[in-house]
Amino acid sequence: MGRIVYVNGRYVPESAARVSVFDRGFLMSDAVYEVTAVLDGKLVDFDGHLERLARSLGELDMENPLDSASLLEIHRELVRLNGLDEGLVYLQVTRGVADRDFAYPQDATPTVVLFTQVKSLAESEQAGTGIRVVFVDDLRWGRRDIKTVQLLYPSMSKMEAKSRGADDAWLVQDGFVTEGTSNNAYIVKDDTIITRELSNDILHGITRAAVLRYARERQVRIEERAFTPDEARAADEAFITAASTFVMPVVSIDGATIGDGKPGPVARRLRKIYLEESRKSAV
């Protein structure tokens, strides 16, 4: 039967879901998105995702088509209709349908699409072994703080990583790591967590914000600054964060084994804390 998806106010079977070929999301990547994790049928860090959605829309002068209560209701209804216990809810808002033109249309109605994906998040084989990353030049545009659907370069980077025998890429710009293709990047040195500071150069990860908050509450030292590929290769530990992976240990960086090649204690502890706190605060 397939999933039930949400399209512009209606819950429909995925086979019947339609968006116009003139939709600016399709023609111009004129669209933003959010991905929210679901644990025990509940939404993780939901307020953070709503706030970032509002910010992304604002940066693109796009109207927010739905208020927070409606967005929560739609997420919940979709989780319920699909019987989703653990996985992801994807939300996309486009500027809407208009004849093709570079200038924004004045009167388009935003297109809103949501769908669910089943994914095992708490129990993850990869979290047990850790992942391998390689460095790739960061050739993305300059407003990575806006969560747009222009994801071709991250896709290309992910494919390059796979062709080089790794799981993912860490992107490098002007001699410093920015972030992963679809996650924020961290190293650990002498019990200090190092991750790039917020700017237009990276996406302001919702999982990043939560993980750093939980770490600070437990007196873990944190340095928010850019780090080099050499520092990364020489790190005691490394990990990534994203709604779709939570805290995921990294055990190899561009061919260099990190620590003893197994997930390190800081990453393992943060993963456990994140899971416990998320189960408590999910809505």
Stretch binding ligand PLP (CB under 6 A), from 1-9, 74-82, 96-104, 206-214: 206-214
Count of residues of this chain found to bind ligand PLP when the rule CB under 6 A is applied: 13
Residue 82 or 182: the one with the smaller Cβ distance to ligand PLP is 182
By rule CB under 6 A, what string of x and - marks binding of each residue 136-155 to ligand PLP?
--------------------
Stretch binding ligand PLP (CB under 6 A), from 4-12, 126-134, 181-189, 247-255: 181-189
Give the SS3 label for residue 27.
Answer: helix
Pick the binder of ligand PLP from 25, 96, 110, 205 (CB under 6 A).
205
- Of the chain, the end-to-end C-alpha distance in Å amounts to 28
Angle in degrees, 0-180, between the axes of helices 206-217 and 265-281, rounded to the nearest 10: 110
Shortest gap between Cβ of 106 and ligand PLP (angstroms)?
A: 30
Pick the binder of ligand PLP from 94, 182, 252, 278 (CB under 6 A).
182
Q: Say which residue the tokens 């929560």 belong to.
A: 72
Give residues with Cβ within 8 angstroms of 77, minimum separation 6.
6, 11
Q: Give the Cα separation of 119 and 39 in Å (integer).
A: 10
Shortest gap between Cβ of 8 and ligand PLP (angstroms)?
A: 24
Pick the binder of ligand PLP from 82, 148, 241, 252 (CB under 6 A).
241
Q: Give the Cα separation of 63 and 65 in Å (integer).
A: 6
From 119, 147, 158, 262, active-site residue? 147
Task: Report if residue 158 touches ligand PLP, rule: CB under 6 A.
Answer: no
User: Active site includes 262?
Assistant: no
Pick the binder of ligand PLP from 177, 203, 250, 267 (CB under 6 A).
203
What DSSP letter does each residue of 45-83 carry, written as one string? SHHHHHHHHHHHHHHTT----S-HHHHHHHHHHHHHHTT
Residue 202 or 220: the one with the smaller Cβ distance to ligand PLP is 202
Residue 108 or 202: the one with the smaller Cβ distance to ligand PLP is 202
Give residues with Cβ within 8 angstroms of 185, minimum separation 6.
133, 170, 177, 178, 179, 195, 196, 232, 238, 240
Distances (CA, A) of 152 to 86, 139, 156, 183: 27, 11, 6, 15
Pick the binder of ligand PLP from 108, 121, 188, 206 (CB under 6 A).
206
Residue 4 or 253: the one with the smaller Cβ distance to ligand PLP is 253
Task: Report if residue 94 touches ligand PLP, rule: CB under 6 A.
Answer: no
In degrees and rounded to multiples of 5, residue 116 shows phi and psi of -105, 155
Q: Give the Cα separation of 104 and 60 in Å (integer).
A: 10
Torsion of CA 145, 150, 151, 152, to 10 degrees: -140
Task: Report if residue 207 touches ligand PLP, rule: CB under 6 A.
Answer: yes
Residues interacting with ligand PLP, by CB under 6 A? 35, 179, 182-184, 203, 205-208, 241-243
Active site residues: 147
